[in-house]
Amino acid sequence: MKYSRLRFALILTLPLLAGFAFAQPPFGGGQSGGFTFTPGPGRGRGNQRTELLGLFDKAKKGFLNAEERTAAREFIHSRLLPGRGGRGRGGGGGTSSTAAVGPTVKPADVKNYGKESLYDPAVLRTLFLQFEENDWELELQDFAKSDVKVPAKLTVDGKTYENVGVSFRGNSSYSSIPFGRKRSFDLEMDLVEDKQRLGGYRALNLLNAHQDPTFMRSFLYFYVAGQYTAAPKANFVRVVINGESWGVYVNAEQINSDFAKEQLQISKGPHWKISGSPGASAGGLSYLGEDLARYKSAYQIKGKDEPKSWTDLINLTRVLNQTPPDKLEEALAPILDVDGALRFLAVDKALINNDGYWTRASDYGIYEGADGKFHIIPWDSNETWQEEERGRGGAGGSGVAVPPLAGATDSGKALLYRLMAVPALRTRYLGYVRDIAENWLTWEKIGPLVAKEQALIGADVKSDTHKLYSNSAFTEAVTRDGSSAGYGMAPPEYSLKTFIEERHDYLLAHPDIRDLPRTPVAARTP
């Protein structure tokens, strides 16, 4: 069905009238990229996406060319929020958003790699992005929270890829960062060419190390998670945009069919992204009844949207929530990777993921295989390896003293609540928490890994004019508490070393862990 321009404009505008944010604010709010930021009533509502392709992609290509994007931007400025701000770069409350121009870097200046994996932690590749327009940052800002990707030419290891789709990504890691500072990117290799891949991968997540001056937390979280369960791989890349260096980004694997095939041995299947949702724990696998609309407001399906996928998801929540504890493990076995879920929950808790399942029952992924079995996947990782943020998980902002079973009495966090009601599963989960504490919450193991990765990226971090934190904080925040100089939101008070040492001691001394019968923990079997 085709919409008239007026009708489509009304559809686009309704979420805004309801208080949803379309584009990011600079510090303190204000005008930016032609929009006046109005915070929505709930954090999750910032995930609302504005649909523009249907109006401007007349040929149904799936992307907008330069002429169509120009028309779409004019529409945004003149029709969606007319008279409410110009095309300025955005203001900035707090620290100045002014950033110096970064160093000029050419392909001949960097090393090219051959067969090394795109996620090899010993490799620092350079990604050269060339946009058609010099105002690429304003253009990406205009299309933030929409379905429009901006095409760019990508050159990596001497090879050029045309029409790679680029967009800003993130919620607070985007909305709190002013114009000219490092924001996170999504790269879509197959925007135009269906079979175009980079190193075998169709999409990239380039993360800005928000709230982490060390750049290490996302990398470490996925590294450790991958020892226990299916988790995105990560390393670091150097990003150069229109010839200017934008410094180092965390390169985190996308949860998609490439991930499923490699990590889960699943050729294809539906998957969902669960981010902050209106209403606490709406996406926590609680049974919400049979009304599909209630699930669609909390779970964002990726790929083909088919009724059977939703029927299977609703059935999972029904079985999880309505089966008696003594029959739960048997009932879940055909439809849920129970052991993988326990391992996911253990990593989420042991490393204190402040944006994870145990806190808000959000920011994770769900993948269903062709056999109908669901898998729970770690996803958001920048607010990890740090003390609990007050009000997040219910432990009262108690630093590292987050109990192993925190959140397990909250029925809204149904996966944790219900699995912990089964004694054998609770014991297995606690065994995983103990194993993580004993083997990974040790500075003897993590310290050398951090030193190696920081040495790899250190020179680029030092020369990065767009980074969110100071040069001194990059190294000092590894071992010194309170290193917080920067432009983004305040990073953790605890250094990495302090967190690791104190979390290790707390967990191993906790009675739920200390008094646990000792049984071997099997290594992860992909």
- Per domain, the residue ranges of the chain are 5-208, 273-526
Instruction: Compute the average pLDDT of residues 188-215.
Output: 95
Q: Which helix (H) or strand (E) segment is 235 a member of?
A: strand 234-241
Sign of the four-CA dihedral 505, 508, 511, 514: negative
Separation of CA 24 from chain center:
17
3-state SS, 85-128, equals CCCCCCCCCCCCCCCCCCCECCHHHCCCCCCCCCCCCCCEEEEE
488 vs 265 pLDDT, higher one: 265
- Give the tens place of pLDDT for each residue, 444-454: 999 999 999 99
- Cross-strand partners of 365: 273, 377
The answer to whether residue 90 scores a pLDDT higher than 50 is no
The answer to whether residue 499 scores a pLDDT higher than 90 is yes
The answer to whether residue 96 scores a pLDDT higher than 80 is no
- The CB density around residue 173, as the number of other CB atoms within 10 Å, is 25
Q: Which of 200, 241, 203 is nearest to 103 (CA)?
A: 241
C-beta contacts of 306-309 below 8 A and 24+ residues apart: 306/270, 309/270, 309/368
pLDDT for 143 equals 93
The answer to whether residue 298 scores a pLDDT higher than 80 is yes
pLDDT for 57 equals 92
Q: Which helix (H) or strand (E) segment is 302 a member of?
A: strand 300-302
Which residues, including other chains, have CB under 8 Å from residue 330's CB and lie 6 or more apart? Answer: none
User: What DSSP letter does each residue of 131-193 carry, written as one string?
Assistant: ESSTTHHHHHHHTTTBSPPEEEEEEETTEEEEEEEEEE--SHHHHTS-TTS---EEEETTSS-
Computed over every residue of the chain, the mean pLDDT equals 85
Share of the chain above pLDDT 70, in %: 83
Q: For the chain, what's the residue count? A: 526
Buried b (16+ CB within 10 A) or exposed e, 108-146: eebeebeeeebbebebbbbbbbebeeeebbbbbbbbbbb
pLDDT for 2 equals 34
Q: How far apart are CA 359 and CA 406, in angstroms?
A: 9
| pLDDT bracket for residue 268 (50, 70, 90) | confident
Q: Which helix (H) or strand (E) segment is 321 a member of?
A: helix 307-322
Rg of the chain over all Cα atoms, to the nearest angstrom: 23
Q: Which helix (H) or strand (E) segment is 346 a member of?
A: helix 338-350
